[in-house]
Structure 1
Amino acid sequence: MDALDVARWQFGVTTVYHFLFVPLTIGLSVLVAILQTLWHRTGNERYLKLTKFYGKLFLINFAMGVVTGIVQEFQFGMNWSDYSRFVGDIFGAPLAIEALVAFFLESTFIGLWIFGWDRLPKRLHLASIWAAAIGSNLSAYFILAANSFMQNPVGYRINPDTGRAELTDFVAVLTNKVALITFPHTLAGSFLVAGSLVVTVGLWHVMRNRGSTDTGAYRFATKFGSWVVLVSAALVAITGDIQGKIMTQVQPMKMAAAEGLYSTESPASFSVLTIGSLDGSRELFAIKIPYLLSYLGTGDPNGTVQGINDLQAQYASQYGAGSYTPIIPVTYWSFRFMIAFGMAAAAIALLVLWSQRKGRTPTNRWLLRAGLVMPVLPLLANSFGWIFTEMGRQPWIVYGEMLTRNGVSRSVSLAEVLTSFTAFTLIYATLAVIEFKLLVRYARAGVPDLTPAPEPDDTDDAERPLAFAY
């Protein structure tokens, strides 16, 4: 083990942990805005209760996401200074816009939304949550544009004197075809997570608090969240199909590793299960669906999909001796786990809708148990999706331009990286416990009571203690 290995583990752990909060923030901001819009348009009090209820869960998650995101960015300077030096001119522009425009738009209007209840006009207050939601989604786009440069470098040139990548076309970076499809795919995955949380909390209250005056609100939340999950799952599949075709064009090795495809095939079969040799050089056993991989990768059932061994020989000739193959089991299985967990969440949403048909109240305990684990499923799908995306790009940190081993900080020792890795992991574990307890506590509390408080008695106002209420 060396500093490179630990630095990669640290970045992987902090990134996956941070992304547990990101999709929920992105998706829940829009769903809360929709709920408040329904209240604004109809005046129905149940929508206001749901807005404040899920809005509180959104704010808890947003705060945690900000904290973990700041730590993640510091790693570029700590552990990956050579990479930052090489790509800083490219990354600087989208990340600066993300911080100065998108994040400030999001955080400013979240503040107005939190403290603007009964102070701002209703329309302006509604506009605040929509502005925050737009800022959250814009923030995702600029970050994904930066990441997409690592997958498919565009709009740059290599300065022969400094050896650095220099930005030549910012529009090309923002309109990178990888970014254009990764963005809607990520948004769909985010709504899958947010919808699942809405379903879980609503279903728990419907089944545990039968006969409550707020049962109607929870039933609506359960159905609303279920439809969000089903529509999002369909959009994930559609955008994922397009993403797979683009990936085959710009990163053929990633597609080959995702399918355990060792030799070039035309037509190529989709792998249901492939077992390869220990050295990762050949296929030993496989269950396949003919023609499907060709269609998924090229749009043509008879299309050609390049294999791992042929691509390895091509890259060794093009870039020099060395292995250009990612860890095939990680790439292969993370791709399948991503799909499986997402489909499982959609299946539970379908069962929840079926259990409430014609006004019925669900009573099956197994459905409740499935509902309680439901938010974890799309979170796992998102995490495995990013593991697949980043691990499948290896050994490149910038595809075709910089190897991962060349991006690590040369001045950082193994002991220093281990120390920071251990510290961050312990801090993140503590934050995870805090996040979980806060979400559970406020989710179990249920929707707020909107009954107006009695008018205060002015006679003893001087003796009343000061209090803050949200």
Structure 2
Amino acid sequence: MDELLLARLQFGSTTIFHFLFVPMSIGLAFIVALMETLYVFKKDEVYLKMTKFWGHLFLINFAVGVVTGIIQEFQFGMNWSEYSRFVGDVFGAPLAIEALLAFFMESTFIGLWIFGWDRLSKKVHLMCIWLVSIGTMISAMWILAANSFMQEPVGIVIQNGRAEMNDFFALLTNPQFLVEFPHVVFGAFATGAFFIGGVSAYKIWRKKELVIFNKSFQLAMVVGLISGMGIALSGHSQAQHLMESQPMKMAASEGLWEDSEDPAPWTVFSIIDEEKQENSFEIKIPYALSYLTYEKFEGSVPGMNTLQAEYEEKYGEGNYIPPVNETFWSFRIMVLAGMVMIGFSALGLWLSYRNKLDTSKWYLRTMVWLISFPFIANTAGWIMTEIGRQPWTVFGLMTTAASVSPNVSKEALLFSFISFTVIYAILAVVLVYLFIREIKKGADHDHSENHEVTVSVDPFDKGAYQ
């Protein structure tokens, strides 16, 4: 393996691992805030127990997520120095604002929320968790503003061989950002909802703390269903925008080598041969791709070969077709997982409304496994987004091959890649152990002693932020 491949593998693995925690934190913070809101206004102690139980799991997840995020950012300077030089003037601003504003807002109000149960009024304490939830979303907003620039560069001029920002407001009104941000946030809400739904289903299945976990399940499935619909609608908008901003990614996600017929069918399944640039077998739904792309049952979609010729004329000689199989299948995995989540959210609410949830053992067992589905969908979505942009790091401006650090050796990359993988594996084991331990204790466990539990996990040690 050469330096470029190792650098890509390392950044890809750390990004995927970090992104397991980010949507979980956003989703759990939001739902915990809803639970505490219900407690404050309904004055029902059940909601207080729910808030403390799920809030405790949120804190554990947040602590591990902080560590993984720090490692990820170091790679920009270590493995991707040429990229950092090119986009540092643009990328630095949203990343700095995310750290100074959103992240410290989260950590400050998390501290007040943890230690303020007996020191703050109920409404002030409630305000703290809502500010934590808002902070997690603001943090995501700045990170996605930076990522959207990589997908669709705006607000810059190229001077002295580097991108220099000349319109900061353009970053926040980037058309890619406007469709990407709601899609990611809805996905995060679904992640928190299905984690709570799956754990609650396990507890209901085992006939433990039924009142608490029935209420948790119902709230989670309401959030899950609304989020699922939001994911579908925002994803549809994002796919339509791809036709304008990155038609090659759209063509790769559909396995289209040649221009489609008019109207264009949507390919459900395909056996793709990238060497021969052809598909040996396909299952298609007539008219569907035209409607998804143009919201009408007519219109052709350009194929990769046509776009390759256009890109060669525009950018010069080179291969501008991304890895097709990875882009094609990651898109379908994401869509399938999303459809399953919508269906099971609706079914869970129906079973709960009909008082049949407790006796639907098959459904409860399945919901435990479905905890993994939002993580699978989130990961597949990011794989499609990033791999489908190849060979570009910054679309149309800088290739991935030109972005890697020229002075980092293969041996150093291999050592750090293995080291990070081992560290992340250990963190994953610790996280799962802590989750299982707290879930076994249950919501009736006295979580009023949050001080002691938090210190043992130590998510707010100053060293974690340095």
After TM superposition, the score normalised by the length of structure 2 is 0.94
Q: Which has the larger Rg?
A: 1
Letter in 1 for 2:152: N
- Deviation string 1:181-211 (CA, Å, 9 cap, x unpaired) is 111100110111100011112112122135x
Q: Out of 278-287 and 69-78, give the one that drifted further.
A: 278-287
Q: Which one of 240, 256, 260 corresponds to residue 255 of structure 2?
A: 260
Instruction: Note the 1:168-317 alignment, pairs <5 A.
Output: 168-210=166-208, 214-265=209-260, 266-317=262-313
Q: Residues 468 and 377 of structure 1: is their aligned pair in 2 closer, same or farther, counting only changes over 3 Å?
A: closer
Q: Which whole-Å CA distance do the structure 2 matches of 1:205 and 1:180 have between them?
A: 39
Q: Which whole-Å CA distance do the structure 2 matches of 1:362 and 1:42 have between them?
A: 25
Count how many residue pairs are aligned between Structure 1 and Structure 2: 452
Does 2:328 match 1:332? yes
Letter in 1 for 2:151: Q
Letter in 1 for 2:31: L
Specify the alignment match of 1:385 in structure 2.
Answer: 381
- Deviation string 1:431-458 (CA, Å, 9 cap, x unpaired) is 00011111111112111356999xxxxx
Specify the alignment match of 1:321 in structure 2.
Answer: 317
- Deviation string 1:46-73 (CA, Å, 9 cap, x unpaired) is 0000000000010000001111001000
Specify the alignment match of 1:119 in structure 2.
Answer: 119
Q: Which one of 418, 429, 453 corresponds to residue 425 of structure 2?
A: 429
Instruction: Note the 1:58-97 alignment, pairs <5 A.
Output: 58-97=58-97
Letter in 2 for 1:194: G
- Deviation string 1:262-300 (CA, Å, 9 cap, x unpaired) is 112332211112223341522333221222212212333
Does 2:36 match 1:36? yes
Q: Which whole-Å CA distance do the structure 2 matches of 1:451 and 1:181 have between them?
A: 39
- Deviation string 1:295-322 (CA, Å, 9 cap, x unpaired) is 2123332123111000011111211111
Q: Secondary structure at the match of 1:284?
A: strand
> Contact 1:207–1:361 (CA<8 Å) still a contact in 2?
no
Q: Residues 410 and 317 of structure 1: is their aligned pair in 2 closer, same or farther, counting only changes over 3 Å?
A: same
Q: Which whole-Å CA distance do the structure 2 matches of 1:381 and 1:232 have between them?
A: 13
- Deviation string 1:314-362 (CA, Å, 9 cap, x unpaired) is 1112111111000100000000011112222333333333433333352
Specify the alignment match of 2:458 in structure 1.
Answer: none
Instruction: Note the 1:404-443 alignment, pairs <5 A.
Output: 404-443=400-439
> Contact 2:251–2:257 (CA<8 Å) still a contact in 1?
yes
Q: Which whole-Å CA distance do the structure 1 matches of 2:319 and 2:189 have between them?
A: 38
> Contact 1:27–1:193 (CA<8 Å) still a contact in 2?
yes
Please report how far the alpha carbon of residue 363 of structure 1 lies from its aligned counterpart in structure 2 after TM superposition.
3.1
Q: Residues 215 and 397 of structure 1: is their aligned pair in 2 closer, same or farther, counting only changes over 3 Å?
A: same
- Deviation string 1:82-136 (CA, Å, 9 cap, x unpaired) is 0010000010111111111011111100000001011111111111101111110
Specify the alignment match of 1:103 in structure 2.
Answer: 103
Specify the alignment match of 1:57 in structure 2.
Answer: 57
Q: Residues 280 and 103 of structure 1: is their aligned pair in 2 closer, same or farther, counting only changes over 3 Å?
A: farther
Specify the alignment match of 2:464 in structure 1.
Answer: none
Letter in 2 for 1:188: F
Where does structure 2 lack aligned partners over 5 or more consecutive residues? 455-466
Q: Residues 283 and 126 of structure 1: is their aligned pair in 2 closer, same or farther, counting only changes over 3 Å?
A: same
> Contact 1:298–1:304 (CA<8 Å) still a contact in 2?
no
Letter in 1 for 2:286: P
> Contact 2:291–2:297 (CA<8 Å) still a contact in 1?
yes
Q: Which whole-Å CA distance do the structure 2 matches of 1:174 and 1:225 have between them?
A: 31
Where does structure 1 lack aligned partners over 5 or more consecutive residues? 454-466
Runs of 4+ residues over 4 Å off in structure 1? 449-453, 467-470
Specify the alignment match of 1:464 in structure 2.
Answer: none
> Contact 1:341–1:378 (CA<8 Å) still a contact in 2?
yes
Letter in 1 for 2:385: T
Specify the alignment match of 1:7 in structure 2.
Answer: 7
Please report how far the alpha carbon of residue 149 of structure 1 lies from its aligned counterpart in structure 2 after TM superposition.
0.4
Specify the alignment match of 1:342 in structure 2.
Answer: 338
> Contact 1:280–1:328 (CA<8 Å) still a contact in 2?
no
Specify the alignment match of 2:461 in structure 1.
Answer: none
Letter in 2 for 1:442: E
Specify the alignment match of 2:356 in structure 1.
Answer: 360
Letter in 2 for 1:198: I
Q: Residues 376 and 451 of structure 1: is their aligned pair in 2 closer, same or farther, counting only changes over 3 Å?
A: closer
Specify the alignment match of 2:457 in structure 1.
Answer: none
> Contact 1:270–1:291 (CA<8 Å) still a contact in 2?
yes
Identity of aligned residues (%): 49
Q: Residues 445 and 346 of structure 1: is their aligned pair in 2 closer, same or farther, counting only changes over 3 Å?
A: farther
Q: Which whole-Å CA distance do the structure 1 matches of 2:36 and 2:360 have between them?
A: 31
> Contact 2:323–2:388 (CA<8 Å) still a contact in 1?
yes
Q: Secondary structure at the match of 1:204?
A: helix
Q: Out of 135-144 and 367-376, give the one that drifted further.
A: 367-376
Q: Residues 94 and 363 of structure 1: is their aligned pair in 2 closer, same or farther, counting only changes over 3 Å?
A: same
- Deviation string 1:13-36 (CA, Å, 9 cap, x unpaired) is 000000000001011101000100
CA RMSD of aligned residues (A): 1.7
Q: Which whole-Å CA distance do the structure 1 matches of 2:143 and 2:274 have between them?
A: 37
> Contact 2:249–2:389 (CA<8 Å) still a contact in 1?
yes
Q: Which whole-Å CA distance do the structure 1 matches of 2:403 and 2:368 have between them?
A: 41
Q: Which whole-Å CA distance do the structure 1 matches of 2:443 and 2:148 have between them?
A: 40
